[in-house]
Amino acid sequence: MTEHHDHDGHHHHPQERSAAELRADALEALLAEKGLVSAEAIDAVVSYYENDVGPQNGARVVARAWADPEYRERLLADGTAAVKEMGFTGFELNTLVAVENTPGVHNVVVCTLCSCYPWPLLGLPPTWYKSAPYRARVVAEPRAVLEEFGLELADDIELRVWDSTAEVRYLVVPARPEGTDGWSEEELARLVPRDAMVGTGLAHAPDTVGSGEPF
Amino acid sequence: MGGMHGFGAVVLPGGELPYHERWEPRVFALWAISEVEGLGAGSGRALRERMPPDEYLRASYYERWLWSNEQRLLAKGTVSPGEIDAWVARLEADEQPPAAKRPDQGARVVDALRSGTGELAPAGETAFRVGDAVRVKRMHPAGHTRCPRYVRGARGTVGAVRGTYPLPDAGPRHRELEPVYSVSFSSEDVFGAVDEPPWTLHLDLYEHYLEAA
């Protein structure tokens, strides 16, 4: 957020607004004038994606798959049903396929056509995921892109790039870090950052995570 | 955009955030409300791709969403040409925007976003099976398609049958139910030999994009 903006959307001096912002505000005003869209409904949707859905959901799924071998099997066999079991449904989650990282395999997800992403599990995608550089490059030079994220894969690791071209959404199940035997699902979930579930990162090592807010 | 050159670094300061400006999530929310409340006509994605390419590449992500949502609202007749421009002028003249009274709208829309849309239906008869060698047809459709340019003509292998789904592509088969396959490709078959060790590419492709190889 830029600092000079307040958040209620109605009290900006015109000079502060970019052309895009002014046009967005104009469309909002027009639909309000027609009685079709309330500012409160817009606030509710923004709040839903800021507070109710986000990577904390996907992290719970991953943690459960790590802790519960039967759940892991269900998740890999039918991702849609397995996440529905945990209450995760919604737009951009028609069909979910979970792909698992193993010692010999690393998975990474992209949408080269636009920005497909499993919103109910990961929230709205980060800017880099929607950017032209990521969309263009991760299919054509994936190791170079992963290196930008600080992830260097050995040459003999099989790298799989999943391009979400249809209505299937992907969740990467990262490898469980060593030294986490006996951890609860709640503790394990703290080790799973968003990027690990897209494949541009790994799960955190246990000694790097404190007891505070995981995200 | 898969395979296009010249875009530069992926990891940039601030890139981890979903948005940066106050208006961006509101554009997204307005799109979601338009979708749930049936205020627009046509697919936002298909429309976004109709932006002139120089504008598309210059526009920010949420500028594209704003543009495509305007097109959908215009197509449905929910808004008329000139009305948004008129409100731009009114806001520039410091007019305060009106308030709409829709007390249940937020909860209704969030419920719909939470319950979501339909899963892919199970596939019945399919032309290809897991393990089949296939080739992506050479094609050059003018409208929306889910067949990326970078795999056209490439040989791959069916890895899974995902189910059937109404075809989103523009054209006479639009919305017809069609099987969707996960097809895997070796990077060498798509991009040739490059500096990196080979990798595999996995795309979900509609049946009519494919032929036996």
Question: What are the pLDDT digits (tens) for B68-98?
Answer: 999 999 999 999 999 999 999 999 999 999 9
A98 and A131 share one domain? yes
A83 and A183 share one domain? yes
Query: What is residue B50's predicted lDDT score, i.e. its pLDDT?
Result: 84
8 Å CB contact of A49 and B25: yes
How many angstroms separate the CA atoms of B23 and B44, rounded?
A: 18
CB of A73 less than 8 A from some CB of B: no
Least confident of A159-173, B45-59, B74-88, B160-174: B45-59
Q: Which residues of B7-23 are buried (b: 16+ CB within 10 A; e: fewer)?
A: eeebbeeebeebbebbb
How far is the alpha carbon of B153 from chain A, nearest alpha carbon, in Å? 16
How many angstroms separate the CA atoms of A83 and A173, rounded?
A: 13
A chain contacts of residue B146, beta-carbon cutoff 8 Å: 113, 165-166
A122 and A182 share one domain? yes
Q: What is the mean pLDDT of chain A?
A: 91
How many angstroms separate the CA atoms of B175 and A88, rounded?
A: 27
Residue where one domain finishes, among candidates A32, A51, A70: A51
A134 and A38 share one domain? no
Query: What is residue A210's predicted lDDT score, i.e. its pLDDT?
Result: 57
Query: What is residue A3's predicted lDDT score, i.e. its pLDDT?
Result: 40
Residue where one domain finishes, among candidates A36, A51, A66: A51
Using CA coordinates, name the residue in chain A closest to B167.
A166
Q: Locate tokens 């049946």: which residue? A: B207
Q: Locate tokens 């080979």: which residue? A: B198
Query: What is residue B43's predicted lDDT score, i.e. its pLDDT?
Result: 79
A110: β partners: A163
What's A196's domain CATH number?
Answer: 3.90.330.10
Tens digit of pLDDT for each residue in A13-65?
545 789 999 999 999 999 999 999 999 999 999 999 999 999 999 999 999 99
8 Å CB contact of A161 and B22: no
The answer to whether position A121 is within a domain reads yes
A41 and A134 share one domain? no
Q: pLDDT at residue B25 above 80?
A: yes
A147 and A59 share one domain? yes
8 Å CB contact of B30 and A24: yes
A chain contacts of residue B156, beta-carbon cutoff 8 Å: none
A chain contacts of residue B33, beta-carbon cutoff 8 Å: 37, 41-42, 45
AA letter at B175:
R
Note down the domain range covering A43.
19-51
AA letter at A47:
S
Using CA coordinates, name the residue in chain B closest to A23.
B88
Calculate Rg over the CA atoms of chain B. 21
**Stretch 169-208 of chain A: residues touching chain B, C-beta under 8 Å:** none
Rounded mean pLDDT, B137-153: 95
How many angstroms separate the CA atoms of B196 and B119, rounded?
A: 36
Question: Which positions of A are catalytic?
Answer: 111, 114-116
Q: Which of B43, B65, B88, B190 to mutate to test the interface with A (most CBs of A within 10 A)?
A: B88
How many angstroms separate the CA atoms of B84 and B72, rounded?
A: 13
How do B155-166 and A95-100 pair as beta strands?
unpaired
How many angstroms separate the CA atoms of B88 and B83, rounded?
A: 9
A28 and A82 share one domain? no
Q: Quick one: B106 exposed, middle or buried, by C-beta within 10 A (0-12, 13-18, 19+)?
A: buried
Q: pLDDT at residue B41 above 80?
A: yes
A32 and A75 share one domain? no
Query: What is residue B127's predicted lDDT score, i.e. its pLDDT?
Result: 97
How many angstroms separate the CA atoms of B26 and B32, rounded?
A: 10
A137 and A155 share one domain? yes
- Phi-psi label, residue B183: left if phi above 0, alpha if psi -120 to 50, beta otherwise: beta
Query: Using an 8 Å Cβ cutoff, are A175 and A106 in contact?
Result: no
Query: Cα separations (Å) of A112 from A122, B1, B54, B147?
Result: 18, 5, 18, 10
The answer to whether position A167 is within a domain reads yes
A70 and A157 share one domain? yes
Rounded mean pLDDT, B100-111: 96
Minimum-distance CB partner of A130 among B14, B61, B103: B61
Domains, chain B, in order of start with CATH, read 23-115 (1.10.472), 133-212 (2.30.30.50)
Q: How many domains does chain A have?
A: 2
Tens digit of pLDDT for each residue in A109-146?
999 999 999 999 999 999 999 999 999 999 999 999 99
Query: Cα separations (Å) of B44 from A117, B35, B66, B188?
Result: 15, 9, 10, 34
A70 and A100 share one domain? yes
How many angstroms separate the CA atoms of A145 and A164, rounded?
A: 18
The answer to whether position A41 is within a domain reads yes
Rounded mean pLDDT, A161-174: 97
Residue where one domain finishes, among candidates A27, A51, A75: A51
Query: What is residue A86's predicted lDDT score, i.e. its pLDDT?
Result: 97
8 Å CB contact of B9 and A148: yes
CB of A101 less than 8 A from some CB of B: no
The answer to whether position A136 is within a domain reads yes
The answer to whether position A35 is within a domain reads yes
Calculate Rg over the CA atoms of chain A. 20
